[in-house]
Amino acid sequence: MPALTDSRIYKWVDERFKINDLVDYLSQKGVPQHRHYIFYYFGGISLFLFIVQVITGILLLMYYRPGADTAYESVQFIVANVSFGWLIRALHSWSANLMVFAVFVHMFSVYFTSAYRKPRELTWLTGMGLLGLALAFGFSGYLLPWNELAFFATRVGTGMAGALPVIGDDILIVMRGGEEVTGATIGRFFGLHVAILPGLFTVLLAAHLVFIQRQGMSEPLGWQNTTAAGRKMEKFFPNFLLKDLLVWLIVLNVLAVLAVFFPDGIGAVHWPLGVKADPFAPPPEVIRPEWYFMFAFQALKLLPAHVGFVEGELFGIMVFGLGGLVWTLVPFLDRKSHTGEINRLFYAFGWLVLAFILVMTVMGYFWE
């Protein structure tokens, strides 16, 4: 079979756009092969799921109508009356949850392999920014169907922001568009979800991808100290790219099965439309945030009313803020790993954070 580069179409394009230069550049790039190689795919999986999000989000946008009187009804219409509307909503919701999961796996794999070390500090920072935006996507999208669960979960979520000292009240008013969660809140969350966040996400994603392409895949710690024979590399183009594509196809298949068999989600990951939000109705017995916010929600719930002279909830938010700051600045705080040695202090910190998230999440679902 003739190579792709010999085909007439390739030559036609190359004659006009000089893509040979790009192919040569990509061919020279290598992907280190080692026992943690599989984690390289999670960045690509996150990207693929984001693309699914964009496509399904645009399709939903054609029928969704923000507003207290129209949001719930329009989602109901999408699910019940629009051809394949149920599938689009299910794909959007499943890919959102899987994307957050993939992003978390990607982040922890980068952290535990110290891939954030010099010279990839900015790649880590943009990645953290993308994680923050992904969570903001989840939080803002949760309210949009304007159903009972979304309404009360948003009231609790925005209420937490209101617990911040000095600026808390102002933040709450800005987030809600008033003192209570109303139709004005949908307007704000909708604008955030479909315009502001995608804009910021695209910029950060572009920077993240450019950094990766310029710097290549991170090599494992101590790689430079091994012999050339021990440093096995794989061509980025076409080998890794084709494997990436294969993984995308597998993820697409998984996504399709989940969307068709569980269009409303399953277990802790579920989004049934349920009943329309009624601000005057009593809140449901159990109000739970989405699974990726559960650890924070549970930890805040466990805190006493006061820690010293500080309110418990405020104390928790401050600790989370400080922890998040340390996590974000880790490339600058960890000065040992860029010499090729593992920093045991930060390694232990990473495991502590992971264990905390897992334990709190499990407690949130199974411990009353």
Site size for other proteins (CB under 8 A): 23
Token representation of residue 296:
């924070």
Q: Is 246 in the site for other proteins (CB under 8 A)?
A: yes
Give me the 271-310 binding string for other proteins, x by CB under 8 A, dash otherwise.
--x-------------------------------------
Token representation of residue 281:
């109705």
From the list 14, 121, 169, 264, which residue makes contact with other proteins (rule: CB under 8 A)? 264
Spatial separation of the C-alpha atoms in residues 111 and 125, rounded to whole Å: 12
The stretch among 111-119, 173-181, 202-210, 231-239 that binds other proteins (CB under 8 A) is 231-239
Q: Is 238 in the site for other proteins (CB under 8 A)?
A: yes
Contacts of residues 78-83 at CB distance under 8 Å and 24 or more positions apart, as own/partner, are 79/273
From the list 239, 281, 356, 358, which residue makes contact with other proteins (rule: CB under 8 A)? 239
Spatial separation of the C-alpha atoms in residues 305 and 274, rounded to whole Å: 33
Helices (H), the chain: 8-17, 19-28, 41-61, 71-80, 85-112, 121-143, 148-161, 168-176, 183-191, 197-215, 241-261, 294-302, 312-328, 330-333, 344-366
C-alpha 244: how far from chain center: 19
In angstroms, give the least distance from the CB of 74 to other proteins: 13
The stretch among 167-175, 197-205, 242-250, 339-347 that binds other proteins (CB under 8 A) is 242-250
Spatial separation of the C-alpha atoms in residues 140 and 192, rounded to whole Å: 7
In angstroms, give the least distance from the CB of 38 to other proteins: 15
Q: Is 242 in the site for other proteins (CB under 8 A)?
A: yes
Q: Is 26 in the site for other proteins (CB under 8 A)?
A: no
Q: Closest CB to other proteins among 59 and 79?
A: 79
The stretch among 91-99, 225-233, 238-246, 309-317 that binds other proteins (CB under 8 A) is 238-246
CA nearest to 122, candidates 214, 34, 208, 183? 208
Q: Closest CB to other proteins among 250 and 325?
A: 250
The stretch among 246-254, 308-316, 346-354, 358-366 that binds other proteins (CB under 8 A) is 246-254
In angstroms, give the least distance from the CB of 248 to other proteins: 9
Give me the 114-133 binding string for other proteins, x by CB under 8 A, dash otherwise.
--------------------
Spatial separation of the C-alpha atoms in residues 127 and 107, rounded to whole Å: 8
Contacts of residues 117-122 at CB distance under 8 Å and 24 or more positions apart, as own/partner, are 117/218, 117/331, 117/334, 117/337, 117/338, 118/331, 118/338, 119/215, 120/211, 120/215, 120/218, 120/331, 121/331, 121/332, 122/207, 122/211
Give me the 75-94 binding string for other proteins, x by CB under 8 A, dash otherwise.
-x--xx-----xx-------
Spatial separation of the C-alpha atoms in residues 259 and 264, rounded to whole Å: 8
Q: Closest CB to other proteins among 55 and 256?
A: 256
Q: Closest CB to other proteins among 178 and 265?
A: 265
Spatial separation of the C-alpha atoms in residues 49 and 252, rounded to whole Å: 9
Q: Closest CB to other proteins among 191 and 272?
A: 272
Q: Is 51 in the site for other proteins (CB under 8 A)?
A: no
By the criterion CB under 8 A, which residues form the site for other proteins?
76, 79-80, 86-87, 235, 238-239, 242-243, 245-246, 249-250, 252-253, 256-257, 260, 262-264, 273
